[in-house]
Structure 1
Amino acid sequence: MGFQKQAFILLSVLLFFNFLIFSTADDLREAEFTKLCETKTILTINGSFPGPEIRVRRDDTVYVNGIEDSINGANEIIRPGRNFTYEIELDDEIGTLWWHARSAWAKATVYGAFVILPATGERYPFPAPTSDQTIILGECFRQELAEGSVPGQAVGYTINGHLSEEYGCNDTQYQLQVDYQGLYLLRIINAVANESMVFAIAQHSFTVVGRNAAYARCSFLSSLTLAPGQTLDILLSANQNVGQYYITAQSSSRGLSTSGILHYTTSTGL
């Protein structure tokens, strides 16, 4: 992967603010969300938090339109009032990346998954999963973020935009439904700006098969530590007794955490 392409995809992660938007995620708008017992206005793409997931295949070509910005590592500078279309050919990348806004205040809420699937006819170098799910670890702030402001320190963490019941505000808790004996490819993204996050599912272990849009030698872990901005692709075997199990995501330094529920949907177990 060349330096310019690597800087654009892995460091800049395919979306900048002010503004670079994919054609599939082209509506930048403010929306009201109720978190931590308060309703606040946040900046979103298409009114969703996290933003829409973008899925492509290896060997696809992605086009990104930019307005009034420049890109580190790129030769082109977009002049005010002008635009430029960036052409990105995906060849070496496979697995999970993410896109996000460039400025600190917008990046707190404007982000989403960028998934690169195998090319047509190409197989994974590991057992085919029953399905795959994306899990984005994010953060929540007490104050309403204003343009140009610095978000400050998070007061809560989210899983796919959901806080957990421990915050006591009747926020909906994230739930992941699985079938007994199913094999699931989970795409974990740490979108928390300045904190490593520890991810785990009670009584379950993981097989790591990818890191930062590249296949990885398989490793077997009971918990995962993701640095800020890191992505991991993991296999989860739904092989425990049918029931419900806590999904946890905890800051490695602050002790603040959030949780969700892994829920088996079938009626037969071990």
Structure 2
Amino acid sequence: MALNIAAVGALCLCVIVSLFAITSAGDPSKFFDWKVTYGDISPLGVRQQGILINGQFPGPDINTITNENLIINVFNGLDEPFLLSWSGVQQRRNSYQDGVFGTTCPIPPGKNFTYKIQVKDQIGSFFYFPSLAFHRAAGAFGGIRVLSQPLIPVPFPKPADDYTVLIGDWYKTNHKDLRNQLDSGKILSFPDGILINGRGPNGTSFNVVKGKTYRLRISNVGLQNSLNFRIQNHKLTLVEVEGKHTIQTTYTSLDLHVGQSYSVLVTADQPDKDYYIVVSSRFTSQVLTTTGILHYSNSKSPVSGPPPAGPTTDINFSLEQARSIRINLTASGPRPNPQGTYHYGLINVTRTIILSNSQGIVNGKQRYAINGVSYVAPDTPLKLADHFKIEGVYRNGSIQDKPTSGPIHLDTSVTQSDFKAFLEIVFQNYENTIQSYHLDGYSFYVVGMDGGQWTPDSRKHYNLHDAIARCTIQVYPKSWTAVYFAPDNVGMWNLRSEFWARQYLGQQFYLRVYATSSVSKYEYPIPKNVLLCGKATGRSLGNVTTA
């Protein structure tokens, strides 16, 4: 059937106007029209099919200010359903906009959906990415920078410029072929290379002027590898991690694990020439390395010699570095909600959840699991099943609070938390590979990490004063990581492995945060433009029926 572009444009305009009409008075809005299509790319010198946004790979940056409403109309020009998610940008009281299949129906081919997102209390660096069908291996990711309101100072002088740096491992293989490998029960192979802003070795450069200081917002948007970032002869001063200002510590290199975002300040204090920017894989027997260029404005000398070497495979370097990252308690600006929980060390924990990752063969195919449960997505998003009271989609308590013995089994794993409880989650890793976990809708305090097995005595060594708050955390091999957070954000929230093959094959579950009192008080109503699918198809939204 031919697509009527004029009709689609009129529909998009109506949806955007409707969304704008419900925006709170005094909260400004920014509007984006994005068309998602396939396109030819050659990041590693081999022509392949990528996923572009408005013809761009990576996609366009989102530049916004706290409290702004982002109205993002996404048209799906692919041949299969599509969703975008917003890593680290917490959807307060609004998990319908989260962009994962547990909360949101996919955008069908040839159709559009308009996201309405408000960035609140998040001054910092994030990224967006496609959450379905292994699309992340083909592109459609981009940077998000949230600036403070003009009257809220940040704890460092304004830099001369502000650069987005998206790093990640990459495959030359088409994402559909990679997905077919996983669907057939195979383990994902080792990546072919590493990209910086969608380009291979020396394909990306950043211009600087001697004597000036620059902000680099670095995000690991890859699929499975922790990466080390460094710049030849230059220091990196860490100032922000996933929306939280840090104590300003200087490093020669930084480890970024999959899904994590850091901001660093770099001063151009070296002789005028070009310098290597180096990104290399960590904790891998085969080390992948790529380079970019830091170009001084008066440089007449190209990069030369070998790029500076990175850390060894020893875990202690990375562990000690992670422990050194602390929140800046004197910085202006918002802290993790609810207000007051920056005194997190004085709050009584009401529930401890211990999560352990595992892998195994189920029905002859490779699967990954948390606490013995490998997540299987139903045909109906869990959030819609809640709203319409559709039975049989999932069961609360289908994943236990502690690891269980026995083989992996398949289920739609969901656990429920009381509203405004205070949780301790311990990620226990018994495997020999590093893990990386993300929780949508929240920042959590990283209170401890160490080798071996966690016990209640491990709490004696927690940081209960100035632990960093973030949304993505690594767990080292044969080690544990503990976090604290208050589930004050009503909704259905995805807790997942950021190793995308593991996520795809079941290493994830949903945290249902439920308030027994008036839902409207704690959660926004279901969007009028909501897409419905599965058992929710054709359901009525009050006076509006969607098909």
**Structure 1 residue matching 2:32: 3-state secondary structure:** coil
Report the number of matched residues.
240
Matching residue of 1:102: 131
CA distance in 2, matches of 1:101, 1:239: 38
Letter of the 2:37 partner, please give it: R
Compared with structure 1, are the counterparts of its residues 145 and 65 closer, same or farther at alpha carbon in structure 2 (3 Å cutoff)? same
**Structure 2 residue matching 1:146: 3-state secondary structure:** helix
The Cα RMSD (Å) is 2.9
Compared with structure 1, are the counterparts of its residues 70 and 259 closer, same or farther at alpha carbon in structure 2 (3 Å cutoff)? closer
Write the deviation string for residues 153-178 of structure 1: whole angstroms up to 9, x where unpaired. 3201011111016xxxxxxx211111
| Structure with greater proportional helix content | 2
Matching residue of 2:190: 153
**Structure 2 residue matching 1:27: 3-state secondary structure:** strand
Matching residue of 1:92: 121
Pairing of 1:86-235 with structure 2 (within 5 A): 86-103=115-132, 105-108=134-137, 109-146=139-176, 148-149=179-180, 152-164=189-201, 173-235=203-265
Matching residue of 2:358: none
Compared with structure 1, are the counterparts of its residues 99 and 207 closer, same or farther at alpha carbon in structure 2 (3 Å cutoff)? same
Structure 1 gap segments, 5+ residues each = 1-21, 166-172
Pairing of 1:11-50 with structure 2 (within 5 A): 24=32, 26-50=34-58
Larger relative CO (CA 8 A, sep 6+): 1 or 2?
1
CA distance in 1, matches of 2:116, 2:44: 41
CA distance in 1, matches of 2:140, 2:84: 19
CA distance in 1, matches of 2:106, 2:140: 23
Contact 1:136 1:160 in 2 (8 A): yes
4+ runs of 1 displaced by more than 4 Å? Answer: 64-73, 75-86
Compared with structure 1, are the counterparts of its residues 162 and 78 closer, same or farther at alpha carbon in structure 2 (3 Å cutoff)? closer
Letter of the 2:193 partner, please give it: G
Identical-residue share of aligned pairs (%): 27
Using the TM superposition, give the Cα deviation of residue 212 of structure 1 relative to its aligned residue in structure 2, in angstroms: 0.8
Compared with structure 1, are the counterparts of its residues 62 and 262 closer, same or farther at alpha carbon in structure 2 (3 Å cutoff)? same
| Structure with greater proportional strand content | 1
Matching residue of 2:271: 241
Compared with structure 1, are the counterparts of its residues 92 and 210 closer, same or farther at alpha carbon in structure 2 (3 Å cutoff)? same
Letter of the 1:247 partner, please give it: I
Matching residue of 1:258: 290
Contact 2:31 2:70 in 1 (8 A): no
Letter of the 1:153 partner, please give it: F
Find the structure with the greater CA-based Rg.
2
CA distance in 2, matches of 1:104, 1:192: 15
The 10-residue stretch of structure 1 (237-246 or 258-267) with the greater mean CA deviation from structure 2: 258-267
Structure 2 gap segments, 5+ residues each = 1-29, 86-90, 97-102, 183-187, 301-547
- Normalising by structure 1, report the TM-score: 0.79
The 10-residue stretch of structure 1 (202-211 or 82-91) with the greater mean CA deviation from structure 2: 82-91
CA distance in 2, matches of 1:212, 1:219: 16
